[in-house]
Amino acid sequence: MSKVKALIVPACTDLNRGDQALVWEAAYLIQNSFGENCEIGIVDYGNSDEDRHKQSKQTRSAGFKIFRNIIENPKRVIKNTGVHDSRWTVIQAGVQALIDFVKHFILLMLPYKPVFNMFFKNKEYLESFSFLKESDCIVVKGGGFLHTYGKLGDLYYLWFGLYYLLLAIRLKKKIIFLPNSVGPITGISNRTFVRYILSRVDKLYVREGISLEYLKSIGVFNSELAFDLGYYSKEKDTLRHETKKVISNTLNVKKIGITVRPYRFPHSSDPIERYENYISSIAEYCNKNSDCEFYFIVQVQGPSKHETDLIAISDVISKLEMSVSYKIVDGDFDYKDLMTVYKGLDFLIGTRFHSVIFSQVMGVPSMAIAYGGNKSKGIMEDIGLGEYVVAIEEINFETLNIMMANLQNNADEYKNKLDLAKARIRLERVKVIEELKEIIK
């Protein structure tokens, strides 16, 4: 058998350790499927050379081959981005999006190197296109990017996220769609577009039952369940000195990790009040449980300014009383390093759902604050832990306090359910590897 070439899309984002895990674990799956008889490329992400370097530095250091993304964010033309976009920046990005659409549509119709060279002059782009054309398969990393909520740019967002699959269909490449959450998708045209593409995928996995049923409801019947790739993660064999000393060894003190995010409550009529309630609920829990040690863990540092967890962490800390013992965990950690950090906790309150997954892999009972899409609720229900999920729109101190008390009182039962899930995960990973071999063969 000739060497198998696989391109992992849509992008690599080292600053989001959950997304990083999904990309790396996708690569490990392919490597385990084909051993040395494979060559893997990973698409980068970023709006500038400096940004792309930050986004893929750890992935390059891990030995993976990175290729320049030919599907770039139209916001790259905006020089000074902030948390909120001005009307002028929206217009700039909109014009660039239109230009990009025309170029990519022509390339889709005429996917040949001379046509490609007309629009993409940089040598790095040509290397990416050449690897794509030589690839046996396009592999979509796991995650949850396929959802829309009725915004003006939803169809372009889907085009932007699924373009590599359109190109793969045009070039008659195999497509492997690793476990994602899908939905909700508003709008007939949006659902038709998604149905057209996903129905043509050679292997389509979803990571929880809610998405499986949703896809059936919009006419996609070729999907099957598989665990989120984060559950395949392992900490490093050789631990970094910094990670081993992050969590204190104080005896008889509960160590509770917390991940929060600067969520904007995009579907709420009062987003500022909702965000304030979310932050205040976390702070009040810390204030009323000051006999514990709290660790605010930065799971996501980017890619954009409004995504960094430090914004929300700072908002929580501003409301803490002097009696609360806390530490901010931030640094140049990859997701495997963070797993070692989570291992030292007793419990976790996780808004970033991959912080919940990493903690569960390390045997730490965790509750999830769910936002956007199906992932948190669906995955926790599938492993029998649905009672430890609260929607971010519904959170308050009383609910948080009761749920955490139940988590602590039922920690042994929780861990038993994790052990059962881990046994299923080990068997499933072997099954997925065999299925990938069959698809490529």
C-alpha 390/C-alpha 356 separation (Å) is 13
pTM (2 d.p.): 0.93
Percent of residues, the chain, with pLDDT higher than 90: 76
* CA dihedral over 24, 25, 26, 31, signed as positive or negative: positive
Pick the range with the lowest mean pLDDT from 37-41, 152-156, 174-178, 389-393: 152-156
Q: Which domains does the chain carry?
A: 4-232+425-440 (3.40.50.2000), 241-409 (3.40.50.2000)
Q: Cβ contacts of residue 215 below 8 Å, gap of 6+?
A: 182, 183, 198, 206, 221, 223
Q: What is the pLDDT of residue 264?
A: 87
**Predicted confidence band of residue 83 (pLDDT cuts 50, 70, 90):** very low
Maximum average pLDDT range among 6-15, 241-250, 371-380? 6-15
* The pLDDT of residue 244 is above 90: no
Cα separation, 300 vs 282, in Å, equals 18
Cβ 368 vs Cβ 353: under 8 Å: yes
When pLDDT is averaged across residues 322-346 and rounded to a whole number, the result is 95
| pLDDT of the residue at 76 | 77
**For residue 89, what are its two tokens?**
């920046």
Distance separating alpha carbons of residues 20 and 413, to the nearest angstrom: 30
Q: Residue 1's pLDDT band (boundaries 50, 70, 90)?
A: low
The confidence score (pLDDT) of residue 366 equals 98
State the average pLDDT over residues 278-282. 98
Rounded CA gap, 13 and 23, in Å?
9
Res 436 pLDDT > 80: yes
SS3 call for 144:
strand
Average pLDDT on 136-150 reads 90
Average pLDDT in the 150-172 region?
Answer: 92
- Mean pLDDT across the stretch 1-13? 89
Collapse the DSSP code of 85 into the 3-class scheme (helix H, G, I; strand E, B; otherwise coil) and give the result: coil
145 backbone dihedrals φ, ψ, rounded to 5°:
-100, -5
Provide DSSP, 266-330: TT-S-HHHHHHHHHHHHHHHHHTTTTSEEEEE--B--SSGGG-HHHHHHHHHTT--TT-EEEEE-
AA identity, residue 292: C
Looking at residue 404, its pLDDT comes to 98
Work out the number of other CB atoms within 10 angstroms of the CB of residue 261. 21
The share of the chain scoring above pLDDT 70, in percent, equals 97
Q: Based on C-alpha coordinates, what's the Rg of the chain?
A: 22
Q: Highest mean pLDDT: which of 29-38, 116-125, 369-378, 414-423?
A: 414-423
What pLDDT is recorded for position 305? 67
Measured CA distances, 414 to 202, 250, 281, 411 (Å): 36, 24, 24, 5
- Does 33 have pLDDT greater than 80? yes
> Over the chain, what is the mean pLDDT?
92
Q: What pLDDT, on the 0 to 100 scale, is given for residue 20?
A: 97
Q: Looking at residues 111-140, what average pLDDT do you find?
A: 95
* Rounded average pLDDT over 229-248: 84
- What's the whole-number mean pLDDT along residues 337-349? 96
- 73-87, 147-161, 348-362: the lowest-pLDDT one: 73-87
Contact 11, 303 (CB under 8 A): no
**pLDDT tens-digit series, residues 356-386:** 999 999 999 999 999 977 789 999 999 999 9
